[in-house]
Copies of this chain bind each other. A is one copy, B any other.
Amino acid sequence: MSLREDGPSVAIVGVTGAVGQEFLSVLSDRDFPYRSLKLLASKRSAGKSLTFEGRDHTVEELTENSFENVDIALFSAGGSISKKFGPIAVEKGSVVVDNSSAFRMDEKIPLVIPEVNPEAMKHIKLKSGKGALIANPNCSTIICLMAATPLHRHAKVIRMVVSTYQAASGAGAAAMEELEQQTREVLEGKEPTCKIFKLQYAFNLFSHNAPILSNGYNEEEMKLLKETRKIWNDMNIKVTATCIRVPVMRAHAESVNLQFENPLDEDTAREILSNAPGLVVIDDRAANHFPTPLAVSNKDDVAVGRIRRDVSQDGNYGLDIFVCGDQIRKGAALNAVQIAEKLF
């Protein structure tokens, strides 16, 4: 980050969590301009000292008075904290970029991937005296749409069938620790300790732990449908998703089957994806070299590969792709910081 008088004053809510920590890392990597930085967390973490870019910062307790003179507040402390403190920050004139699901489906609140729909937030201005909320989409949606949107713009997606391979990080730092601890235990022949997840995670996989709705989908799966419709501003888009947690640390993978209204051949698709911002094509068939979660971990770009004409659809109206993206970075912290950058 670079200290600049004309930069915004920044607050991070939930700074001690996995995404909160990544906010700091991304702000630093991108040399984000700022006037002041306030690190907020629960009472439990208040008083802790965090060294960031050579300076010591004391974590403050999040209270109703935390947002005086805060221009941008990056929230990642769970839905209930966002619901309570998001509107308080807005009232103080802050622009809140919220990583929780609390406001995503609120019609009045933009849901933004900066490469996809920056126009949704064009009415929001920093330091205008008017606070505002902007929602960060769910990680699976961001990673999927980073690759699907450029194709959608060209040939109009009418239906997507998505199967996810989701990392531990989506359930927070404690879930990553649990995966590591369980793996050690299994290798030592011990019974694995299950705290965050009720099932063994080491060398196993399971249906995403989000609550199941009456239609049989879990909330994670329905987010892919609802958020895609909102972000693409098209209520006719059809999406079905199966979300699975796999024993990988911090990057999600998604197998995406696309059906188009207009024809789109494989070579054109590859060219479109090669030119898309924030996306890297890894699609070397001869070398069997394609995206993996490990290769995109700690990286900004989402990777796409296995680009091929869907043999189960007639003509050039279908494609299969495989997408990987860092869940904590583009799936959460990076996307939020990019939103903040667009505002400045």
16 of the cross-chain contacts (CB-CB < 8 Å) are A161-B161, A161-B312, A163-B255, A165-B246, A199-B292, A203-B248, A204-B293, A205-B292, A207-B288, A212-B286, A216-B285, A216-B306, A216-B308, A239-B312, A240-B310, A240-B312
Which residues of chain A (66-125) have a CB below 8 Å from chain B? none
The 8 closest A-B pairs by CB, nearest first: A216-B308, A163-B163, A238-B312, A163-B255, A240-B312, A242-B255, A204-B294, A212-B285
The residues of B that contact A61 with a CB separation of less than 8 Å are none
Provide the A36-78 mask, 1 if CB < 8 A to any CB of B, else 0.
0000000000000000000000000000000000000000000
Task: Say whether A225 faces chain B, with CB atoms less than 8 Å apart.
Answer: yes
Using CB atoms, name the residue of chain B closest to A321. Answer: B242
The residues of B that contact A159 with a CB separation of less than 8 Å are 312
Which residues of chain A (174-203) have a CB below 8 Å from chain B? 179-180, 183-184, 187, 198-200, 203
CB atoms of B240 and A244 under 8 A apart: no
The residues of B that contact A294 with a CB separation of less than 8 Å are 199-200, 203-204
Band of interface residues on A:
35 or more
CA distance A176 to B223 in the complex (A): 35
Task: Say whether A260 faces chain B, with CB atoms less than 8 Å apart.
Answer: no
Task: Say whether A253 faces chain B, with CB atoms less than 8 Å apart.
Answer: yes
Task: Say whether A313 faces chain B, with CB atoms less than 8 Å apart.
Answer: yes
Give me 17 other A-B pairs in contact (C-beta within 8 A), A165-B205, A206-B292, A247-B247 excluded: A165-B165, A199-B292, A199-B294, A203-B294, A205-B253, A206-B290, A209-B288, A212-B286, A212-B288, A215-B309, A216-B306, A217-B308, A238-B313, A239-B312, A240-B257, A242-B257, A255-B255
Measured CB to CB, the closest approach of chain B to A255, in angstroms, equals 4
CB atoms of A217 and B248 under 8 A apart: no
Provide the A205-223 mask, 1 if CB < 8 A to any CB of B, else 0.
1110101100111100000
Provide the A272-304 mask, 1 if CB < 8 A to any CB of B, else 0.
000000000000011010101110000000000
